Structure 1
């Protein structure tokens, strides 16, 4: 019994064992040695990470067709997909031992900034977020947290394991710059290993899963089929413009585009005579001889406010023209006279505006 005790290297108890042998005899020594043996076997010095159920897997997440607006701002999410981890990988359980300080982590590959990593298509990056739907589950983050991420945990239960049943995953494809599809439009991104577990001392580690993301990327764009649109309003009578804000001479016209299907078209009108104009009244252009009158352009029944000549998303006074069905897209508008401040003087009325498209 003394030789067995020493083989387990539980030397901290050797003095106690000798003490019991000297005082109580061999039977008490056997009881103490057996107790010490149980303590030594529970010590996690030789813990190893291993699957309890399942095995290493590679999950393939297909994002389908991802349509990328050509002039969307950098940072725009062009496709997103959220799912339960088990729907892509099947359920897995694993452990690094009972009461063993452990670390779980999700990795990314390649270079990236702000948790967005390069794919094989220039201008498109990927961001992967992970969380647990059960708050507090072995210290797993309970809100969407971008990878790479890691957290420390301990499994106190003798038969406890870490299970993937609560894990949630979201994939975002993000515009990172000018999109170049000249090489390929088949997006592919691979991480291996992706999900890992290890003991805190690094003595043992386990690759739980690898990740592959795929998508077919197309670009959304429009071309203007009419670069200049001339609208002629009927003659107006002073008697129809007697009060400030009164209108007359409503005339319909269209802006015509050719767009790929699914393109969200947004428009900004800019006063070509006064580019700082942010009102809904288009000022008079050179060649006008009337005064006390201006022009309005309406989208439906709503007068359009003017904004900067810029195609950026969320441009000041930018408005939505709708989603293209594919092919020719007509944007119906109305122009009309509007009474402004000052004396109303009859004469020629001219206005000039530019329109700028933003494809989302």
Structure 2
């Protein structure tokens, strides 16, 4: 019996359904700098500095669309020095991803260059898109921001903005996301808000290494008299799959696949072509019980995937114990060679 390791990277999409409408914080106060029919407050445009904990370790099998980190910032509006933009007519608002690329998906994910990572910005449960939209003049009237009559509303992003980092690629390399401006808003041609990452964020790709990618297991010569009723087996021959998860904190699972018949989901491995024996199959055993085979996939919840351990990041190479044995599958066994090939796929979740 031969075992061959395969790596299949799972992909997924975010299932969160969220509005793509943009949220604006509207506040009443006195204007300062004018630009056509729009005026910027005396405090200028608020700059939201968002801190995200670093480093971030990205699980190799985390689905595309998974949130891998986040941070929040709040704008404290100063009534003595208003910030944002007030307009006396309909105004164009432009939302720009300063890292390049437009927003996409139900939660308006914006790419961060070619990093394989994107980000979202949200306020009051709404996700900001890129692009332009028209803000009606009614948004700048006192009733829109619940202020006293005779005042003026100012538009800016806030009051609380949450930035989420999102996995966009099946494989994310180790890298550092730079601090600095990521998103800006202009209203009527005036800067209304800027969102920046306050600190560099280190990204580490989480994975373990299989140290035994190909394993040969000799089940030996077994006399026919060893088998009696259907289901009787030979002695189990132990083997181990080596896994190095040093520096990685993860749970790991495994799926075995019948290489000769990938759609075989039973607990008996079919004989490979060239085998001359009949009435017998091969079983892989874990803790005394035969393992059922499944599809060649690392996706979480894959059919007959089983969790076999976890790593806290401080260990070295571990050996995952299994065994192999022959099993009688027919009423009559014909002597001869009986070989099989199974693959195994690791999943880190």
TM-score (norm 1): 0.61
Equivalent position of 1:270 in the other structure: 257
Equivalent position to 1:170, from 163, 177, 192: 163
Structure 2 distance, partners of 1:251, 1:343, is 24
TM-score (norm 2): 0.62
Distance 1:149 1:191, change over 3 A: farther
Structure 1 distance, partners of 2:165, 2:290, is 36
Structure 2 distance, partners of 1:249, 1:63, is 52
Distance 1:166 1:90, change over 3 A: closer
Equivalent position of 1:284 in the other structure: 271
Distance 1:246 1:284, change over 3 A: same
Shift of 1:64: 1.0
Say which structure, 1 or 2, has more relative contact order (CA 8 Å, 6+ apart): 2
Task: Decide whether the 8 Å contact of 1:266 with 1:322 is kept in 2.
Answer: yes
Residue 283 (structure 2) pairs with residue 296 (structure 1): yes
Equivalent position to 1:56, from 22, 46, 53: 46
RMSD: 4.3
Structure 2 distance, partners of 1:299, 1:151, is 63
The alignment covers a number of residue pairs equal to 288
Structure 2 distance, partners of 1:151, 1:338, is 72
* Structure 1 segment 93-242 matched on structure 2, within 5 A: 94=83, 96-97=85-86, 100-102=89-91, 106-112=95-101, 114=104, 115-119=109-113, 122-133=114-125, 142=126, 144-147=127-130, 152=135, 154-157=139-142, 158=149, 159=151, 160=153, 167-176=160-169, 179=172, 181=174, 185-188=175-178, 190-191=180-181, 194-198=183-187, 202=188, 205-212=190-197, 214-226=200-212, 227-230=214-217, 232=219, 237-239=226-228, 241-242=229-230
Larger radius of gyration: 1
Of Structure 1 and Structure 2, which has the larger fraction of its residues in helix? 1
Task: Decide whether the 8 Å contact of 2:93 with 2:186 is kept in 1.
Answer: yes
Structure 2 distance, partners of 1:287, 1:109, is 61
Q: Which runs of 5+ in 2 are unaligned?
A: 1-35, 143-148
Q: Which runs of 5+ in 1 are unaligned?
A: 1-44, 134-141
